[in-house]
């Protein structure tokens, strides 16, 4: 061996030594709310469990507060494989898997326990499986809580109080049908546009659960909060299908375990905010009223025409079996 080849070998050996054994895969996780929201808490838990169970395989970069765009943009990013993971509301999910819309029907669930058991049971799990056909892999249902109306025009006690109210809704056909039937003037809009539209008076109000109203500080731009609880708001932990298909079995099992813990953390956060959120918002200056059972019944009666459409789309038997579930 010449001096030259010996030094080449030595250089090669030291080069090989300097290269890391396996490159880490970056996971971009996008969500619409801040890091201290129910989504942020779930995303952090998800990261912790994945890292704990997979060692050095992955690194996480968080994009909170719609840092990757509206929820529809992020889901499309997952389909393309440019984003790996997201936590989203059911806002635009029905545009990808129409069956998810059944859970957006107003006055479907009695309480959080009822919703959680249906989503975790066969009806909810069957719907999760449908996402694989559209370039996505659904890991678990999460949640935001029950949605309530906020606005700047007037306090709301009866359906007459929402007549003509310019109310931002999610880009969700089930919600849109309900608010149209109620006599409001619903405006579907992606979340990143909502605050500026309120500031400019383009919309009078919006509807979201306490988890969102508190964490986004909607009290800074909205005066009235009506605890209408008109609809449960599911969320979902979604993974890009092209990314999912590249994982090995151990990594998939770690993602599944991480999703279960993330949902536990999200539901824990929602339980806490359901207990404390109204007081917080009153202290911040919002005028709050809660609809009585009779007042809620009047709102439900005002959207009877929308139920005819829901029964046609989702099947009356399915809707009634969800309502009757324990």
- Least CB distance to ligand PAF at residue 96 (A): 15
Residue tagged 């929602």 (tokens): 270
Does position 54 interact with ligand PAF (CB under 6 A)? The reply is no
The nearest distance, CB 229 to ligand PAF, in angstroms, is 15
Of 144 and 240, nearer to ligand PAF (C-beta) is 144
CA distance 105 to 231: 7
C-alpha distances in Å from residue 92, one per residue of 160, 243, 260: 28, 21, 23
Q: Rounded to an integer, what distance in angstroms lies between the CA atom of residue 124 and that of residue 116? A: 9
Query: Which one, 57 or 71, has the nearer CB to ligand PAF?
Result: 71
Minimum distance of ligand PAF from residue 49's CB (angstroms): 22
* Of 215 and 240, CB closest to ligand PAF: 215
Residue 54 or 215 having the CB closest to ligand PAF? 215
Dump the DSSP string for 178-203.
HHHHHT-EEEE--GGGHHHHHHTTS-
* 102 counts as binding ligand PAF under rule CB under 6 A: no
**170 near ligand PAF (CB under 6 A):** yes
Residue 249 burial class via C-beta count within 10 angstroms: exposed 0-12, middle 13-18, buried 19 and up:
exposed
Shortest Å distance, C-beta 115 to ligand PAF: 15
Rounded to a whole number of angstroms, the minimum distance from the CB of residue 148 to ligand PAF is 12
Q: Is the dihedral of CA 236, 242, 245, 251 positive or negative?
A: negative
Take residue 278 and report the two structure tokens written for it: 């109204």
Query: Using CB under 6 A, which residues numbered 233 to 292 contact ligand PAF?
Result: 233
Q: Which helix (H) or strand (E) holds 250?
A: helix 249-283
Q: Is there binding between residue 149 and ligand PAF (CB under 6 A)?
A: no
Q: Is 155 helix (H, G, I), strand (E, B) or coil?
A: coil
Instruction: Please tell me whether residue 178 binds ligand PAF under the rule CB under 6 A.
Output: no
Q: Please report, as residue ranges, which positions from 69 to 98 form the binding site for ligand PAF (by CB under 6 A).
A: 71, 88-89, 91
Please select the residue that binds ligand PAF; options are 58, 179, 191, 244, rule is CB under 6 A: 191
CB 173 within 8 A of CB 267: no
The count of residues interacting with ligand PAF (CB under 6 A) is 12
- Interacting residue with ligand PAF among 212, 236, 286, 303 (CB under 6 A): 212
* Short-list 291, 151, 300, 299, CA closest to 213: 151
CB 226 within 8 A of CB 152: no
Is 228 a binder of ligand PAF (CB under 6 A)?
Answer: no
| Options 29, 32, 49, 286; binder of ligand PAF; rule CB under 6 A | 32
Helix, strand, coil percentages, rounded to 5, for the chain: 55, 20, 25
Binding interface with ligand PAF (CB under 6 A) = 32-33, 71, 88-89, 91, 144, 170, 191, 208, 212, 233
């Amino acid at each position: 061996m010449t001096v030259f080849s010996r030094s080449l070998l030595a250089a090669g050996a030291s080069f090989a030594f300097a290269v890391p054994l396996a490159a880490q895969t970056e996971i971009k996780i996008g969500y619409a709310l801040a890091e201290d929201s129910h989504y942020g808490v779930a995303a952090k838990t998800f990261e912790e469990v994945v890292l704990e169970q997979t060692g050095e395989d992955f690194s996480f970069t968080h994009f909170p507060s719609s840092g990757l765009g509206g929820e529809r943009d992020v889901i499309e990013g997952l389909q393309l494989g440019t984003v790996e993971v997201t936590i989203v509301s059911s806002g635009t999910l029905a545009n990808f898997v129409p069956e998810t819309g059944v859970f957006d029907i107003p006055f479907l669930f009695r309480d959080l326990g009822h919703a959680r058991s249906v989503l975790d049971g066969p009806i909810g799990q069957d719907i999760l499986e449908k996402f694989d056909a559209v370039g996505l892999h659904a890991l678990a249902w999460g949640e935001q809580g029950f949605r309530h109306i906020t606005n700047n025009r007037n306090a709301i006690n009866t359906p007459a109080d929402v007549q003509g109210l310019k109310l931002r809704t999610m880009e969700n056909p089930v919600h849109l049908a309900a608010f149209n039937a109620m006599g409001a003037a619903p405006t579907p809009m992606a979340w990143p546009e909502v605050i500026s539209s309120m500031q400019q008076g383009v919309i009078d109000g919006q509807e979201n659960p306490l988890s969102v109203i508190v964490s986004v500080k909607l009290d800074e731009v909205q005066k009235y909060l009506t605890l209408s609880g008109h609809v449960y708001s599911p969320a979902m932990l979604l993974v890009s299908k092209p990314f999912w298909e590249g994982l090995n079995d151990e990594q998939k099992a770690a993602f599944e375990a991480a999703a279960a813990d993330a949902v536990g953390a999200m539901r824990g956060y929602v339980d806490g905010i359901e207990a404390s959120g109204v007081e917080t918002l009153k202290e911040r200056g919002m005028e709050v009223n809660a609809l009585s059972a009779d007042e809620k019944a009047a709102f439900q009666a005002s959207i009877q025409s929308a139920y005819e459409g829901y029964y046609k789309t989702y099947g009356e038997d399915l809707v009634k079996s969800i309502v009757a579930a324990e």
